[in-house]
Amino acid sequence: MGQLTLGLIDNDPNLSLHSALGSANSLNEALGADLVIDFTNPDVSERVVDFAIENNLRLIVGTSGWTKEKIERVKTKLAGSSAVIAIVPNFSIGSVLATKFVAEASKYFNGIEIIETHNVTKIDAPSGTALYTSQAIAEARNGEPADIQQGAFRDPLFNGIPIRSVRLENKHAEQEVTLTAANEFLYVRHEVTSHEVYAKGILLSINKAMKLTGLSVGMLALLEVD
């Protein structure tokens, strides 16, 4: 994702690269940038967010693993800071729309399960997208947990929703949410077959993030910015 973003910046005449940081660089090298984009790992990402808040930077977080509890801590840390933090679990517009549909449908179905499948190289589980989806469902249901009487009880619960994580050699990224009620099933499935699908979402996020204030979570929040 970092390499994809660098390519997008190089090819866009409206963007210019301030610096590209790796594990050997100091975060201080990001000072002076109009916008910082984070594609690291969960532990490093938290340090990047803290650095952005301390230095009143504008930051897009594209790293997975941001739980509701971690996001709440960011919200607390932002008090008194002019920093802008946009946490984007998934840059695919199709994925964001699928989550929106699922959250709305979850009001009418009590049996709910999320199955997320990624390549074996993905470190975190569940994925950031699955965590975001479970949170969106929980909010739509006012915190009412899913009915886990239909076999999903063996999957760990996140925000009251069971999530099953699968890692396969030949898979890129896929999420399927199954919603069940008496005599019916509803499946909402989204699959990504190439990182290139994220390009449009990254560029949109860069442009929208310049208009944000405070904390925002999810691509949907960015899509709604005028």
**Catalytic positions:** 118, 122
Q: What is the dihedral of CA 115, 220, 209, 57, to 10 degrees?
A: -50
Tally of CB atoms within 10 A around 3: 10
CA angle 94, 98, 205 (to 5 degrees): 45
Q: Are 37 and 60 in contact (CB under 8 A)?
A: yes
For residue 126, cis peptide bond before it (omega within 30 degrees of 0)? yes
Question: How is residue 107 written in tokens?
Answer: 């009001």
* C-alpha neighbours within 13 Å on the C-beta side of residue 204: 19
Instruction: Give the dihedral sign, CA 72/115/218/49.
Output: positive
Q: At what angle do helices 2-11 and 198-209 cross, to 10 degrees?
A: 70
Question: How is residue 137 written in tokens?
Answer: 């469902």
* C-alpha neighbours within 13 Å on the C-beta side of residue 153: 5
